Structure 1
Amino acid sequence: MREGEGSVLEQVLGFLLGYGFGSIPFGLLLAKAGGMGDIRTIGSGNIGATNVLRTGSKKLAAATLLLDLAKGLVPVLLAKAMFDQSDAMPQAAYGPVPLAALGAVLGHCFPIWLGFKGGKGVATNLGVSFGLAWPIGAAYAVTWLLVAAIFRISSLAGMAAVCAAAAAAAVLAMESYVPALVAIAVLIIWLHRANLGRLAHGEEPKIGQGK
């Protein structure tokens, strides 16, 4: 077994660690706690920060963003610590750390507690990216901010950012992270297919605008 690959048990634990954290529906919980009701009944119907912002509460949206980021960051860092895998250690693409990253995004997008209907994974993947390696996270964040500043469209910024993270991993020769990040990018873009349709027709709402 190659260094960084981990045993099958470690791989399973890494994935479950990521999925467990990722599946916590912070947006839904915070909106209900803040008296906003079920976030799934407004806007896009998802549980992410962009939809929470449509309630009109910037504080709840900011808290959701930070917590959704954390549920991607924390399991990846924990997987590194638990399975003794530092950034300097060679890792396999299907080792526990990349699987924790993939699991976190899948947990957010398809939480078992909500009938596998969750968010679109953009903020969670930001946390995942920083957890894997800070330069990947920086590429993600800078791309999101630039695209959002220019176009004022959250979905477009998110799709650009997930692609930037996968590209950054490849450019930085972090090949073991590329398959997971590419899979995540494909998933997130697929989850934004309705947004792509609205973008094509110039109907996609801008940041802070109601759906």
Structure 2
Amino acid sequence: MTTLIFVIAAYLIGSISFAVVVSKVMGLSDPRTYGSGNPGATNVLRSGNKKAAIATLIGDALKGWVAVFLANYFAEQYGVGDGTIALVCVAVFLGHLYPVFFKFQGGKGVATAAGILLALNVWVGLATLVTWLVVAYAFRYSSLAALIASIFAPFYYGLLFGSDEKLFAVIVMSALLLFRHAKNISNLLAGKESRIGSKAKGAAGAPKAARKK
């Protein structure tokens, strides 16, 4: 029962879509209505509002970190082990991908995965983030950076800790992230993928009130 409570709580935390919440608070268009239609930081950036994109990035990463941190913090008190921690990782990630609060229309999980990895182990998280940054800087494709980072994440974890339940969780998250980027993979191969910072048609970069003036 305790494991189930941990997992449900993690899923609900993951279901908070900061891209939608931040955009609504800042008076921007719903990120699901322009660009890639993905409620994530990269698509929010296509609105031209960098502050909204940064807030989304921090929020999505923080919810992944918080869910895993709390599970680790209370693990000994409630007698749960690595298996439960692994399930919490997957649950909060699934919450982001398929949020119950937003008709199961979620993001692709890059920022949330980063938060989860940082909570699991700061070195694994940092190594994965550096991989993303290097690829993103070199090629200017967020999706390509995410794909390569997701492939390396299980390798980094396995290198440091070997095979355990948490490694399985990292592999599952990587597989889900690759699955969610199927369209991006097709666009990359076809040379149609949008680069980081490109403006999307239909995106509202300024608060609605300001645009009426």
Q: TM-score, length-normalised on structure 1?
A: 0.89
Residue 72 (structure 1) shift: 0.3
> Larger % of helix: which?
2
Residue equivalent to 2:206: none
CA RMSD of aligned residues (A): 1.5
Q: Which runs of 5+ in 1 are unaligned?
A: 1-8
Partner of 1:199: 188
Identity score, percent: 40
Which amino acid is 1:166 matched to?
P
Aligned to 2:161, the other structure's residue is in SS state: coil
Paired residue for 1:3? none
Quote the Cα distance in structure 1 between the aligned partners of 2:128 and 2:10.
19
**After superposition, where does 1:13-32 map in structure 2 within 5 Å?**
13-32=5-24
Compared CA separation, residues 139 and 91, structure 1 to 2 (3 A): farther
Per-residue displacement from partner, 1:104-157 (whole Å, max 9, x unpaired)? 110000001112110000000000000011111011111100110111100011
SS of the aligned residue for 1:166 comes to helix
Partner of 1:161: 149
Structure 2 counterparts to residues 1-211 of structure 1, below 5 A: 9-84=1-76, 91-92=81-82, 95-176=83-164, 177-211=166-200
For residues 106 and 75 of structure 2, the distance between their equivalents in structure 1, rounded to whole angstroms, comes to 29
Q: For the Cα contact (< 8 Å) 2:13–2:63, is it kept in 1?
A: yes
Deviation for aligned residue 1:209 = 1.0
Shift of 1:37: 2.4
The alignment partner of 1:84 has SS state of helix
Q: Which amino acid in the other structure matches residue 184 of structure 2?
A: N
Q: Which has the higher contact order (CA 8 A, sep 6+)?
A: 2
Aligned residue-pair number: 197
Q: CA deviation at 1:91?
A: 4.9
3-state SS, counterpart of residue 72 of structure 2:
helix
Deviation of 1:174 after TM superposition, in Å, equals 4.4
Task: Provide the TM-score with structure 2 as the length reference.
Answer: 0.88
